[in-house]
Amino acid sequence: MEHFRLPKIDLGSMTVPQGVKQVLAAAEKKLAHRSKLLAQFANCFPNTLETTTKRMGDGTTFIITGDIPAMWLRDSVEQVRHYVPLAKEDAELRSIIGGLIRRQMFYILKDPYANAFNEGPNDWHWDANDETEMSPWVWERKFELDSICFPMQLSYMYWKETGHTDIFDENFRKAMRAAVDLWKVEQRHGERSPYTFMRRNCPAIDTLRNEGKGMPVNYTGMIWSGFRASDDACDFHYNIPSNMFVVAVLRQLREIAKYVFRDERFAAEMEKLEEEIEHGIRLYGIHNHPQYGPIYVFETDGFGNYCLMDDAGTPSLMSIPYIGYTSVDDLIYQNTRKFILSKDNPYYFEGKAAKGIGSPHTPPDYVWHLALSMQGLTASSDTEMMEMIELLEATDAGTGFMHEGFHADDPAIFTRPWFAWSNSMFAMLVYKAMERGLFEQA
């Protein structure tokens, strides 16, 4: 497979906003007795701003993933999510995050099926030979149901945290409309969707079967997705965590439609769509496991086929409370959590140095730092949260940063030395523990 050899994007220099400096100053006191953790936090908390963020001349913000010179809708949200609580008191952070949201809406209107975009219409692509309707703005056009959800949820969080409605312009309204229209089409993918995707001479997980249409599905009310948050193809195209994410986001978009745009009809349309998806999740997305009781499946096709697993990327079954679908103490979630943190999950690995969830995206026995951070963020006890922080602290291979996957026996064997999403998730977890005073108790 041939890829373009791309130069590194010139991000320019950016001063660290005052709100971020204040967090780092607080960390120097709260983590003074944990010198290694303090150094990691000082590296990871500002990492997105220092290494991946570019302010554009039009007032928008472009954020690369790190080692790939393109902006994923999903990753760019997760790279800044830990800054949102600081934005109310920091005008610079508001400008950065608001600029990111505006750029995300611009991209969604360019192609709501795409997952990753270029800084400009430079015609750079992950694979120039992908068989799909490519645009010079699009880096990759894998339809991942979660991709649009992330910017929409970030917009809601920004609004609720800051009280500012400046992001809710005409482009936002059009993007919201485009998202709902796409979701309704993909409820009946086989009959209505124009989307296909094929990549030749690649691993099977990088392309869709059935001449790019994906495997057949039955109508369920849920929304079809071609690929997972890992950028791997779905086995069964109703991905349950992603559909849960849409439900959570529709609740938030209904509020925006009703109270910001004063559009009761659109809010009612979204409520109906939310109910249809929720009904599908309840009818097709729960399996009565002989050991764990009722648990959520990872994917289903609506014909009775499903897979029981979890993947490290968000949205995942682990992340269900994080994305806002239900609470940590939900019984089915707790049952599911026990399953996915056991060897019954084919992508749960245990080794000499770590145990946790990995992914089909990386080799067997590779645990992901993202999954460990998410386990900590969704922990029902302070003890488990601190255990995850200690495990993350111990598995950076001496680099001071988080990675994608690492070998459970040897953290020095890892993928992606520069992965800003993973750095941000780790920083979010440590910051949450700091805010709860857990290091004072340690």
Q: How confident is the model at residue 302 (pLDDT cuts 50, 70, 90)?
A: very high
Taking the chain, what is the end-to-end CA distance rounded to the nearest angstrom?
Answer: 51
Measured CA to CA, the distance from residue 402 to residue 77 in angstroms comes to: 18
Burial class (CB in 10 A: 0-12, 13-18, 19+), 215: middle
**Cβ distance 301 to 234 under 8 Å?**
no
Rounded CA-CA distance 134/151 in Å is 21
Residue 144: φ, ψ to 5°: -120, 115
Within-domain flag for 188: yes
Question: Tell me: the pLDDT tens digits for 114-149?
Answer: 999 999 999 999 999 999 999 999 999 999 999 999
Q: Using the CB atoms, write b or e for 91-119: b if 16+ within 10 Å.
A: ebbbbbbbbbbbbbbebbeebbbbbbbbb
Q: Indicate the pLDDT class of residue 11, thresholds 50, 70 and 90.
A: low
Residue with tokens 């440590």: 430
**Residue span of the structural domain in which 374 resides:** 18-441
The answer to the question of residue 1 being in a domain is: no
For the chain, what is the domain count? 1
Distance in angstroms (rounded) separating the CA atoms of residues 428 and 78: 10
Buried-exposed string 381-407: b where 16+ CB fall within 10 A, e elsewhere? eeeebbebbebbbebbbeeebbbbbbb
Q: What φ, ψ does residue 66 adopt, rounded to 5°?
A: 130, -95
Report the DSSP beta bridge partners of residue 239.
299
- The distance from CA 257 to its chain's CA centroid, rounded to whole angstroms, is 24
Helix 91-110 crosses helix 170-186 at what angle (to 10 degrees)?
A: 50
Residue 3's Cβ-count burial label (10 Å; 0-12, 13-18, 19+) is exposed
Spatial distance between the Cα atoms of 96 and 162, rounded to a whole number of angstroms:
13
Query: Which residues are 350's β-sheet partners?
Result: 355
Confidence (pLDDT) at 440: 87
Judge whether 74 lies within some domain: yes
What is the pLDDT confidence band of residue 361, given thresholds at 50, 70 and 90? very high
pTM above 0.85, yes or no: yes
Contact at 8 Å (CB) between 160 and 94? no
Tokens 């993007």, residue?
175
| Reported confidence tier of residue 13, pLDDT bands at 50, 70, 90 | low
The CATH number linked to 231 is 1.50.10.10
pLDDT for 4: 33
Number of Cβ within 10 Å of residue 430's Cβ equals 29
Q: Tell me the C-alpha distance between 369 and 24, whole Å.
A: 22
Single-letter code of the amino acid located at 145: L
Q: What is the mean pLDDT of residues 412-430?
A: 96
Half-sphere exposure of 34 (CA within 13 A, CB side): 21
The answer to whether the CB of 69 falls within 8 A of the CB of 4 is no
Pick the more confident residue, 154 or 10: 154
Model confidence at 273: pLDDT above 90? yes
Q: Is 177 exposed, middle or buried (0-12, 13-18, 19+ CB in 10 A)?
A: middle
Residue 2: the pLDDT is: 32
pLDDT at 15: 80
Burial state string for 42-60 with b = 16 or more CB within 10 A and e = fewer than 16: bbbbbbbbbebbbbeeeeb
Answer yes or no: is 221 within a domain: yes
How many Å apart are CA 137 and CA 233, to the nearest integer? 22
Structural domain contains residue 3 = no
The answer to whether the CB of 79 falls within 8 A of the CB of 48 is: yes
Does the residue 84 lie in any domain? yes
What does 56-121 look like in DSSP terms, one character per residue?
Answer: -TTS-EEE--BSSSSEEHHHHHHHHGGGGGGGGG-HHHHHHHHHHHHHHHHHHHH-TT-SEE-SSS
Region 311-334: mean pLDDT is: 98
Q: Is the pLDDT of residue 441 over 70?
A: no
Per-residue pLDDT tens over the stretch 201-236:
999 999 999 999 999 999 999 999 999 999 999 999
Give a yes or no: residue 118 inside a domain. Answer: yes
Gap between the Cα atoms of 320 and 329, Å rounded: 11
